[in-house]
Amino acid sequence: MSTQARGLQNFISDLRNAKSKEEEQARVDKELANIRKKFTATPKQLGEDGSNTALSSYQRKKYVWKLVYIHILGYDVDFGHPEILALVRSNKYSEKSVGYTALALLLRGDDPLMNAILGTIRKDMTTPMPATAKNNAPTTDTAQSLALCTIASLSGLELIQTLHAEVQHTLVAKSSTPHVKKKAALCLLRLVRTSPKLVSGREFAPHMAQLLQDRHLGVLTSCMSLLYGLASQNPREYESLIPYAVHILGMLVLKKACAREYLYYRTPSPWLQIKLLKYLQLYPQALNSGQEVGAPKGTQEHIAQLSNVVSKILTETDVSDSINKSNADHSVLFEAVNLICTWGSAGPPQLREGGMKLLGKFISVREPNIRYLGLLTMAKLAQLDGTARSIKKHQATVLVSLKDADISVRRRALDLLFVMCDTDNAERIVDELVAHLPMADAAIREEMVLKIAILAEKYATDLRWYVDTILKLISISGDHVSDPIWHRVVQITTNHPQGDLQAYTAATLLVAASPRRCHETAVRVAAYVLGEFGFLVAERPGMSGEEQFRILHQHWATSDEHTRSILVSTYAKLANLYEECRPLVAPVFARCKNSVEVEIQQRSAEYAAMREAFGPEAVEDLLREMPPFEDNKQSALEQRLREKEGDDSAAVAKAARPSAEQRKRAAQSAAAARAAEEVAAQQSAAANEEDDPISPISDGSPGADPSEKPTVGIPKDVIPAMRKAFSNLCTTPSGVLFENSLLQVGVKHEYVGAQGRISVFFGNLGKSPMTHFRAILEESSHLRMQKQGTEGLFDENEDGGATVAARTQAKLLLLVEVAAPFDDAPAMRITFETEEGEIHEYPLRLPIVATCFLEPVTLEAPAFMQRWKSLEGQDRECQEVVKTPPNAPKIDEEYMKRIAHIITKGLKFGRCPGCDPTPWTVSGASTFKTGAKDANGNNINVGCLVRVEANPQAGAFRVTTRTLHPLCSKAVKNVALVSIKLA
């Protein structure tokens, strides 16, 4: 190259010797100007492809190499493309290689010039050439390899769609050499990642089966990369290739059948082994299908062979003195353990035990990388059933890893301790973590505090120990105790009035807040708890109301705005409970009325004026203790952990599973919760029918001032018909929503996924025009609306509104997208004025309910029952019994068919075959679609299950809905009840 491209070498040397950016820029600009001049051709020198025919081969290559180098340095190169194409078309290898290199770097797949070179690329890739080169001509291998590498490097959907068939043909062709097959497999993988639907699994799987029988390990390695990429997108279509993967793995591991050049420190092709194991992890059910009675003999043999392979990997892998061999062997080992984790409890127990024993050995070695991977993999293995006892044997070793010099190892040790914790060892692990907290780095303290708080709550046999643990965290590392942690203490204390927890917490926090130097988080939680439950300890020595105020108020000067706001509310409650505290609290409120902090000023002014504005009983009600918090399935601490570590974390999976102690506490609170539900149900039953969340009548405020003109509302005799019409519209695409002698409101609506199109027609049935006609829609956070309609329809000005002539219509078009679950229908207030001067106002609701955004899902009976059981709980389940109307026919099989039609066609649920053993039940599944996006940009959807059970003797139905979101459960139940009543 030194004799052929001396100019290129000199140019590179000049750039390297440049003393400043400006000098380099000047040299590049000068060179670009020179190259542009050389490429500019006279009419006689201009070739058919736009290149300069006067340039010699040496000059063209030299200048193109310079353009490539300039491009690599980051400068824009927007000329010279015809010369690049001329090099690609050349029959000389030296020119073709330069051309393809420049083509891959300087052009894009959607460039118009690519159409001119597609034929050459296709020819190089498919047309056979001599196996040996003559006169610097490219061989079959080199031409095909250059073309494949260039296709993989270029982007552009049109290029991919044009050449992907040739790439597939080159890959499967018997004439292709191993070198070309490797390039073709990796090129096709790149194309598939760009356009996932490029390859049909059913058609391509047989070709992959032939490729997996190739004896060349390089071809197998590249093909496994391709297979893993394809199977990750469509696992079912490539499941038939499992036997081939197991056979290759068996040859490498059991028989050591490997060419010498693919032995890596006496380990047969570790890269191929890893790819095979990762592919097999996509099929966790393969082990179950092979062990079933009646499974094909060949399948059983492959499963047995796979078990032997994994067993041998576990038994023969050991720590080696050679770092390279150790890294290769352990990479294979950890993928084998991941495969065992993928199998779950269905895998052979001896493999789980063997993996755990081996990992226990690795987490004690000196090499930090192996320790890290050992801790990480053991945390995955610890999630399997039946591994708790064996993993506890390594608890002491994991505790030692908490003191490791490498922070990443400490994090993995913390994760493993979190996962292995249970009721038996919780106190010891939590105490060890708390003892280690003062010595922990600041980078890991927040994570440690969060996980200690979750473990203390999850496995506390006595909630007083939980309170003590959180106080220790505050005293040791108060800056890292986030608000959700102490909020959780308040929530648990408030929700567990049984026993002496509330009094114990109040007394403990009062003692903790007594020193003048106390962390501000302790002051906040003490202030809140003493304001709520301080009266429980007021009779104890040194804990009177006056003493509580004195202890809390000593921290006023050093507290921030948030803490002072809590203290002000606590002072108000203390003054309400204890007469002796009122003279102490009054001066504080008087000073704070002029505070620059708006929150403190407002609270102080309101509390000070409360006794003057309200009577003693009203003040007592306003300042009584807070009611129990809503006990969500996922606490704020679990949500914070999920935000920090992601859904795939072993710690997140562990935190999401309720412990035995948590279930026990939930059972203890169930009686109080049921009593509260009964009271709420009674209040709901006694409420006015107009408060029904899916009632056709909204609770809209009156439009005009009654003192000016009389306002006419909805006639009472129309309401029963409206209710039936509204219910029908919830399950049918069109109909009349409202009709009287003056106005008819018709609705036509259709929905696709999370979006809907609603047309509303307002017909004037009278003989005179309606003036100032308006339709005012209530905006809501859960529905995004775009509206358009007759001019003036949305004008709320006094003189505005539309005019609807007699026997004509005004129109309203709504485009809606649901953003979150909801249980009410959007309100629409219609107002107009008649010729006689009467103002009519009709508060209606549009039949846009949650079931409109459902899409049916068909589930088999086992899958339905599994999801049904997983959605147990008062937050996720809504249930109500409804009796049939007195004039309704007797419940029989024909009646149940109508109910099934309502559930499937009206409410958009898919029937679940096998779930209804008797004709008196109807079960269905669907998905509530929303337009909201999660962190990955995917739409957030909610799975919904419904079950209707009939009691013909009692003439009643029980409707049960279960979803992940309480509002979804309630909304679907409400619509189902109304529809069943009118069936």
**Which tokens hold the place of 312?**
């041998």
Q: What pLDDT, on the 0 to 100 scale, is given for residue 255?
A: 87
b/e sequence 2-23, b meaning 16+ C-beta within 10 Å: eeebebbeebeeebeeeeeeee
Annotated binding-site members: 6-7, 38, 58, 62-66
Q: What pLDDT, on the 0 to 100 scale, is given for residue 135?
A: 52
Considering only residues 442 and 677, tell me which one the structure prediction assigns the higher pLDDT: 442
Q: What pLDDT, on the 0 to 100 scale, is given for residue 303?
A: 82
Whether the CB-CB separation of 943 and 958 falls below 8 Å is answered with no
Q: What pLDDT, on the 0 to 100 scale, is given for residue 577?
A: 86
Confidence of residue 675 (pLDDT cuts 50, 70, 90): very low
Integer distance in angstroms from the first to the last C-alpha of the chain? 88
Q: What pLDDT, on the 0 to 100 scale, is given for residue 225?
A: 93
Q: What pLDDT, on the 0 to 100 scale, is given for residue 944?
A: 93
Whether the CB-CB separation of 229 and 189 falls below 8 Å is answered with yes
Q: What pLDDT, on the 0 to 100 scale, is given for residue 158?
A: 75
Of 784, 882, 782, which is closest to residue 824 (Cα–Cα)? 782
b/e sequence 44-83, b meaning 16+ C-beta within 10 Å: eeeeeeebbeebebebbbbbbbbbbbbeeeeeebeebbbb
SS3 854: strand
Mean pLDDT of 203-223: 91
In angstroms, rounded to a whole number, what is the distance separating the alpha carbons of residues 713 and 695?
16
Confidence of residue 769 (pLDDT cuts 50, 70, 90): very high
| Count of all residues that appear for the chain in the document | 983
Rounded to 5 degrees, what angle do the CA atoms 114, 119, 125 make?
A: 105
In angstroms, rounded to a whole number, what is the distance separating the alpha carbons of residues 529 and 502?
8
- Over 80: is that where the pLDDT of 686 sits? no
Q: What pLDDT, on the 0 to 100 scale, is given for residue 348?
A: 81
- Over 60: is that where the pLDDT of 280 sits? yes
Q: What pLDDT, on the 0 to 100 scale, is given for residue 684?
A: 43
Chain mean pLDDT for the chain: 84
Q: What pLDDT, on the 0 to 100 scale, is given for residue 499?
A: 72
Q: Is 763 exposed, middle or buried (CB count within 10 Å of its CB: 0-12, 13-18, 19+)? A: middle
In angstroms, rounded to a whole number, what is the distance separating the alpha carbons of residues 913 and 544?
66
% of residues, the chain, pLDDT over 70:
89
In angstroms, rounded to a whole number, what is the distance separating the alpha carbons of residues 104 and 154?
6
Confidence of residue 289 (pLDDT cuts 50, 70, 90): low
Confidence of residue 221 (pLDDT cuts 50, 70, 90): very high
Q: What contacts 190, CB < 8 A, 6 or more positions away?
A: 152
In angstroms, rounded to a whole number, what is the distance separating the alpha carbons of residues 234 and 211?
19
Residue type, position 875, single letter? D
Mean pLDDT of 448-454: 89
Confidence of residue 632 (pLDDT cuts 50, 70, 90): low
Whether the CB-CB separation of 436 and 403 falls below 8 Å is answered with yes
DSSP 481: -
For residue 957, the cross-strand partners are 882, 950
pLDDT one-digit tens code per residue, 606-623: 988 887 888 777 888 888
Whether the CB-CB separation of 812 and 756 falls below 8 Å is answered with no
Q: What pLDDT, on the 0 to 100 scale, is given for residue 735?
A: 92
SS3 899: helix
In angstroms, rounded to a whole number, what is the distance separating the alpha carbons of residues 885 and 978?
11
Q: What pLDDT, on the 0 to 100 scale, is given for residue 736?
A: 92
- The region that residue 908 occupies, defined by phi over 0 for left and psi between -120 and 50 for alpha, beta otherwise, is left
Q: What contacts 263, CB < 8 A, 6 or more positions away?
A: 269
Q: Which of 294-308, 649-663, 704-718 has the highest mean pLDDT?
A: 294-308
Whether the CB-CB separation of 301 and 247 falls below 8 Å is answered with no
Strand order, beta sheet including 783-789: 734-739, 743-752, 755-764, 809-818, 783-789
Q: DSSP for 227-294, please give it.
A: HHHHHHH-GGGGGGGHHHHHHHHHHHHTS----GGGEETTEE-HHHHHHHHHHHTT-TTHHHHHHSTT
Confidence of residue 382 (pLDDT cuts 50, 70, 90): confident
Q: What pLDDT, on the 0 to 100 scale, is given for residue 926?
A: 93
Q: What pLDDT, on the 0 to 100 scale, is given for residue 706?
A: 38
Q: What pLDDT, on the 0 to 100 scale, is given for residue 613?
A: 84
Confidence of residue 548 (pLDDT cuts 50, 70, 90): very high
% of residues, the chain, pLDDT over 90:
24
pLDDT one-digit tens code per residue, 838-873: 899 999 999 999 999 999 998 888 888 888 888 887
pLDDT one-digit tens code per residue, 293-340: 444 555 678 888 888 888 888 888 777 778 888 888 888 988 888 888
Of 525, 425, 442, which is closest to residue 476 (Cα–Cα)? 442
Whether the CB-CB separation of 24 and 18 falls below 8 Å is answered with yes
Q: What pLDDT, on the 0 to 100 scale, is given for residue 405?
A: 85
Q: What pLDDT, on the 0 to 100 scale, is given for residue 1?
A: 43
pTM over 0.85: no
**Which tokens hold the place of 379?**
């945390």
In angstroms, rounded to a whole number, what is the distance separating the alpha carbons of residues 123 and 166?
10
The neighbour count for residue 964, using CB atoms within 10 Å, is 17
Rounded to 5 degrees, what angle do the CA atoms 798, 803, 804 make?
A: 140
Whether the CB-CB separation of 769 and 818 falls below 8 Å is answered with no
In angstroms, rounded to a whole number, what is the distance separating the alpha carbons of residues 550 and 510?
11
Q: What pLDDT, on the 0 to 100 scale, is given for residue 889?
A: 84
Per-state percent for the chain, helix, strand, coil, to nearest 5: 55, 15, 30
CA separation (Å) from 474 to 31, 529, 877? 67, 15, 37
Confidence of residue 681 (pLDDT cuts 50, 70, 90): very low
Q: DSSP for 586-621, please give it.
A: HHHHHHHTT-SSHHHHHHHHHHHHHHHHS-HHHHHH
- Over 70: is that where the pLDDT of 509 sits? yes
Q: What pLDDT, on the 0 to 100 scale, is given for residue 219?
A: 92
Place of tokens 């050991």: 318
Confidence of residue 679 (pLDDT cuts 50, 70, 90): very low
